[in-house]
Amino acid sequence: MGKLKEILMAVDSGVAISIDIRKRKIKLGKRNINADNIPREDIKIGLLTTDEVISKAEKLYEVYKYSIPNANSNKMHCNFKAVGLEELTEKQMLEGEDRAFAQAKLELWILFNTVIGNLKWEELNTNWYWYSKVDNDFIILKDMIVIK
């Protein structure tokens, strides 16, 4: 099992998570994990192009944006915009994913693909931020990907 799947299983079972994409740090329960120190083969994400990474990130963002907030997700810092509970439709509330889990999937996807070199800022052809053509609310800042 890869590190991505292992962490997501822990989050799904209720373990608190905090992800700092800029610092490449994950706090999973009481454990502190430096993503830069995880061997590439343990992450279990294959070689992908930046376009493939972004395409999946856009899908993960859509799930996150319309996910269902809860007490844990309200305490979590997030780099991405999501709609509030009052803005969700009844169908989205019934079928939506837990916000903390959806946020973890999105942030870990971006973090791990940055760490292993699949997501390359220079291939996004932009200066300080990139935004999705699918959903303008999905924005990735340069300092999330490029370490100064």
17: Cβ contacts below 8 Å, ≥ 6 apart: 7, 10, 11, 26, 27, 28, 29, 76, 100, 104
pLDDT for residue 95: 86
pLDDT at position 35 over 90? yes
Give tens-digit pLDDT for 94-140. Answer: 888 999 999 999 999 999 999 999 999 999 988 899 999 999 999 99
Q: Is the separation of the CB atoms in 46 and 118 below 8 Å?
A: no
Per the prediction, the chain carries an average pLDDT of 91
Q: Which residue has the higher pLDDT, 76 or 50?
A: 50
Q: CA 148, CA 129: separation in Å to the nearest integer?
A: 15
Percentage, residues of the chain above pLDDT 90: 68
What average pLDDT score do residues 67-73 get? 75
Give tens-digit pLDDT for 81-92. Answer: 898 888 888 888
pLDDT for residue 71: 63
pLDDT band per the 50, 70, 90 thresholds, residue 72: low
pLDDT band per the 50, 70, 90 thresholds, residue 76: low
- Residue 8: strand, helix, or coil: helix
Distance of CA 80 to the CA centre of its chain: 9
pLDDT for residue 62: 96
pLDDT for residue 70: 76
